[in-house]
Structure 1
Amino acid sequence: MKKNIAIIASFLIAIAISGCEKYTDLTPRGALVVETAQDYYELVSYPNRGYLIANFQYLVDDMWLKESNFIGITPNINTVHFSFNENIDRVSMVNSSNFYDRAYLYINRWNTIISSVDASKGEQNVKDLAKAEAKAFRAFDHFLLVNVYAKAYNPATAATDGGICIMDKYDLEAQPTKSTVAQVYDFIQKDIDEAIPFLQVQPLDPYHPSLAFAWALKAKIHLFKREIAKAKEACEKSLSYNNQIFDLVKYTTTQGGPSVTPIIAPNNPEVLSYQYIQGYNETNFGYTWLISPELRALFGTNDARFNMFFNTTSASFLDIGSGAAYYSIAYTRFFYPTVGLKTTEVYLMQAECLARQNDLAGAIAIVNKFREKRILSGTINLPVPATRKEMMEIIINERRKEMVLGFNRFFDLKRLNTEAEYAKTVVRTYPLVNKTVPQQTYTLLPTSRLYIIPFPLGILKKNLNLTLNTDEKLPL
């Protein structure tokens, strides 16, 4: 097959997905031929990558549902997950998944670049750069998939825990088998390690991966594997390229905030990679993303992240009296990253590494440096805690407040639940306002199979090599 393949315009936007059974079907609609190394390099830039989390967004302690979207509603995947119900057939409810389809769509894009750029016209350094950037993003997408559809990495069981399909080449007829969690992580680490030597400090535009992004992703991979020394080293490397913390305190008190000084994508200096839950304008729909009373209380009354961005007064969007809140700032006023990596996450990963190494003074110093740009008044600099567990609780809570609305809390609960010291039983009492139905208490155990999202039924039907990672029954 000719190596300089025709990349179709529709390929850049919407390709019919067949998941693990078959990557995509290409339908020629005004073909855009990609034949030079520079063409392939520019193909890496994809400004509107989105990862819709509707299949699992309520399996956390940070998200909330308006009561009218739960009471009297025919059970759906959102209500099942919100009530932590293990007795309903989830597999039949998840016939398709935008998250799954898009992640493999993007992987197919990266594989096209990786497999074809070497045969293109152009300089070798441009080919190496295009291939490296595609590998960095391929690692990112596999990392997301394995953390949604498989168990969290556990050093004791990862070699036998079912993972996901690794897609490492452009092959329209592939019917791959499922790899283990350990094999997927090995693949991810190999991709990011091979990419880093060729990446740039300042890429062509912010939709290309930088060295700061790659080292941050490497840190996250090691942290999730509990390889703490390697994670700490990667954090330091990432911060050596970008260590900026956007000063929300100054922004609020002296610059007028988003109504006076808009900060739009790609102008937020903290952001290391621009991805979204839905798309570039996603925060226009922020009122549909309620944060829980528990998370709202965690912010307190003097946190710029809450005071600036969240609303608690609109009866149209939330139940007054529930204690919930919703994101209320348009994307044209401020870009708050939900799923992409940013420097503040790197700082919090660095603090976690220090805490796990029992350097509590070092860990709290990083947290306090971070809090100076977030806390408006009152206690800003926290004292050194007495124990590692107390220090970890501070870090975990800061992660909840800093990395809201995306999939990060879901990932954190899963990984921390593999350690008895940090495992959490999530308890939800609901409803809080409606008095016509009995109030119930719902419980999500750290060992719940709900944390492993079933592969979409449509994909399971097409690729019989793919099997569920839970003990749920397959309705085939």
Structure 2
Amino acid sequence: MKKYIVVIWLSLVMGLVSCDNYLDVVPKGEAVLNSTDDYLGLIEAANPKFSMTSFWYMANEVTYYKKAELESYLYPMYSIGFFWDESVDRYNYMVDGDIAELYSDCYSRIASYNVVVEHMNDAEGPDTDKKLGIAQAKIMRAYNYFFLVNTFAKPYKKETAATDMGIIIHKKFDLESESKQYTVKEVYEFIEQDIEEALADLPEQALNSYRPTKGFGYALQAKVRLYKGEIDLALESGLNALKSSYHKLWDMNEMYNEALATYPFLPTMPSMWMTAAKLEDSNPEHLLYQFGHTNTDPYPQYARKEMLDLYDKNNDLRYITCWGYYMPPRPTAETGAIMFGSTNVKWNPGGMRLSEVYLMIAECYARKDDKDNAMKYLNDLYRNRVFPGTAELTAADADEAFKLVREERKRELVLTYNGFFDMRRFCTEFNETLTKTYVNEAGETKTYSLRPDSPLLVWPFPQQAMETSNLVQNTK
């Protein structure tokens, strides 16, 4: 077999490419990619970090533990998002921070995946490894582009997607190529092509949860189709994802009983849930595990009371084991705000869990006016999250089923990227204006609104990206 050696800078291998067109790459060393094992390792070496705390403030999921600092804009992006403040140009703050970091991390990973897609067929090793590596690189490239287009461009809208400006796409690893910004429609087409080409060669079970499986591939395809409004196709993909022989829902009752066997005093000492509650990153609930800013995210984030009130606080194990309601309230925070208190629960903020597939299927059925199937899949998930004997969710018609699906998405997918992404797509589709109230330090009750055409629903490109490419800014 022909020996083909690709030499790339170690900074790329370590995921340090700092902007969309691969500039500012510092040659700190060299890494030789020769075997299929080398390329498979490059896929895993891509840093699985999706920094997104600002999403949670925008989606009205969290509050800061010091109201005075939130109101003084000590951390501007958190405050702008929390107060839905359109008066501030966020671009001025897009120098660093979580969303600027998210942008560079996604493009860094894409650069690695491009190397694999382009050159793995020339590596030394079995053809099965080559097919596997290319498929996993393509599906991960699609996922990162999906993340980028749903952060830095308008939500997909069939009527305008062909003219709405999207993001830069790099189809190959080329330091000399000129950056090109594609429309939202073109970005989605590229994502769908990558998914379609990857599906056949994705494994039923990957080496670990940081590498994508066939179940993840179908779940991502369902998600992309759902965001495009292709309900029948999204349902087909979602049902295909459930055919996985490996992935299964996390049974929180099983976790609860195991913890109780180890710590029989838990009912009288609920603070022990900090360590007793566990969801490993290897759990087959994870279709793909990708963490947030750190591997302990979302700890220690404080949820707003209106978010927490969505839970059945007596029976919902997500609330009982994860939210740390037993901890003393912070007098400097909003009344009723409590902290996510489980350091051993790998919440998977940046990846996908099988629970989301059930929610997507339930949503599709509700949209198809099939209330019974919508509630079936919704309750299949719900039963794994509440104590045995808890009353199941019920709906009188498909509209009510759809409402329940949206509420369950908020509970199950809180402190992931889905809260913000859902806000974008539902506001756009249903022309929804959101409102919320906040009691400030002075004791005044303030009301804030978010319009469906608000520029806040699209993040501005970071300053470095604007300075090193020919991007047209999408928002302020």
Q: Same fold (TM over 0.5)?
A: yes
Q: Does the Cα contact within 8 Å between 1:271 and 1:343 map onto a contact in 2? A: yes
Aligned-partner residue type, residue 295 of structure 2:
Y
State the Cα distance separating 1:271 from its structure 2 match: 0.4
Give the secondary structure class of the aligned counterpart of 1:144: helix
Mapped partners of 1:274, 1:249: distance in 2? 22
Distance in 2 between the 1:264 and 1:156 partners? 42
Q: Does 1:50 align with 2:49?
A: yes
Q: Structure 2 unaligned segments of length 5 or more: list them.
A: 264-272
Measure, in 1, the Cα distance between the counterparts of 2:432 and 2:253: 32
Of 10-19 and 194-203, the range deviating more from structure 2: 10-19
Instruction: Letter of the 2:339 partner, please give it.
Output: Y
Residue 279 of structure 1 corresponds to which residue in structure 2?
294
1:451 is matched with which residue: 426, 446, 457? 457
- TM score, norm. by length of structure 2: 0.90
User: CA shift at 1:378, angstroms?
Assistant: 6.8
Measure the CA separation in 2 of the matches of 1:261 and 1:292.
24
1:62 and 1:325 map into 2 onto residues whose CA distance is 11
1: CA distance, partners of 2:331 / 2:243: 42
Alignment partner of 2:181: what SS?
coil
TM-score, scaled relative to structure 1:
0.90
User: How far has the Cα of 1:25 moved from its partner?
Assistant: 1.2
Q: Deviations over 1:228-259 (max 9, x none)?
A: 11111111111101451111123224542867
Distance 1:128 1:23 in 2: 30
Residue 171 of structure 1, CA deviation? 0.9
Tell me the secondary structure at the aligned position of residue 242 of structure 2.
helix
Q: How far apart are the structure 1 equivalents of 2:166 and 2:212?
A: 26
Which residue, 103, 106, 110 being the options, matches 1:103? Answer: 106
Residue in structure 2 matching 1:461, options 456, 460, 467 = 467
CA contact (8 A) 1:290 1:318 kept: no
Within 5 Å, which residues of 2 pair with 1:181-330? 181-241=184-244, 242=246, 244-253=248-257, 255-256=259-260, 263-283=278-298, 286-287=299-300, 289-301=301-313, 302-312=315-325, 314=327, 319=332, 322-330=335-343
**Contact 2:329–2:337 (8 Å) recurs in 1:** no
Q: Does 1:409 align with 2:419?
A: yes
TM-superposed deviation, 1:65: 2.4
| Equivalent-residue separation in structure 1 for 2:398 and 2:106 (angstroms) | 36
The equivalent of 1:425 in structure 2 is 433
What does residue 342 of structure 1 align with? 353
Offset from partner CA, 1:183-233 (integer Å, 9 cap, x none): 000000000100011111122232221101111111111111111111111
* Cα-Cα RMSD: 2.3
* Contact 1:24-1:105 within 8 A present in 2 as well: no
Preserved contact between residue 23 and residue 104 of structure 1 (Cα < 8 Å): no
What amino acid is aligned across from residue 316 of structure 2 in structure 1?
D
| CA deviation vs aligned residue, 1:301-335 (integer Å, no higher than 9, x gap) | 121101110124545757466122221111xx332
Distance 2:74 2:118 in 1: 46
Mapped to 1, the partners of 2:369 and 2:147 lie a distance apart of 29
**2:52 corresponds to 1:40:** no
Q: Which moved more, 1:349-358 or 1:3-12?
A: 3-12
Tell me, in whole angstroms, the C-alpha distance in 2 between the residues paired with 1:114 and 1:10. Answer: 19
Aligned to 2:12: 11
Q: CA deviation at 1:263?
A: 3.7
Q: Distance in 1 between matches of 2:345 and 2:331?
A: 22
Is contact 1:293-1:324 (8 Å) kept? yes
Provide Cα deviations, 1:25-72, integer angstroms capped at 9, x if missing partner.
14233x332111221123212485101114443211222223133133
Deviation of the 1:180 alpha carbon: 0.6
The structural deviation recorded for 1:387 is 3.1
> Which residue is equivalent to 1:356?
367
SS of the equivalent of 1:32 reads: strand
Structure 1 contact 314–320 (Cα < 8 Å) conserved:
no
**Which segments of 5 or more consecutive residues in structure 1 lack a partner in the other structure?**
none
- Runs (4+) of structure 1 exceeding 4 A deviation are 257-262, 313-321
With over 3 angstroms needed to count, the CA separation of the structure-2 counterparts of 1:154 and 1:110, relative to structure 1, is same
Whole-Å separation in 2 of the counterparts to 1:81 and 1:418: 18
How far did residue 124 of structure 1 move?
2.4
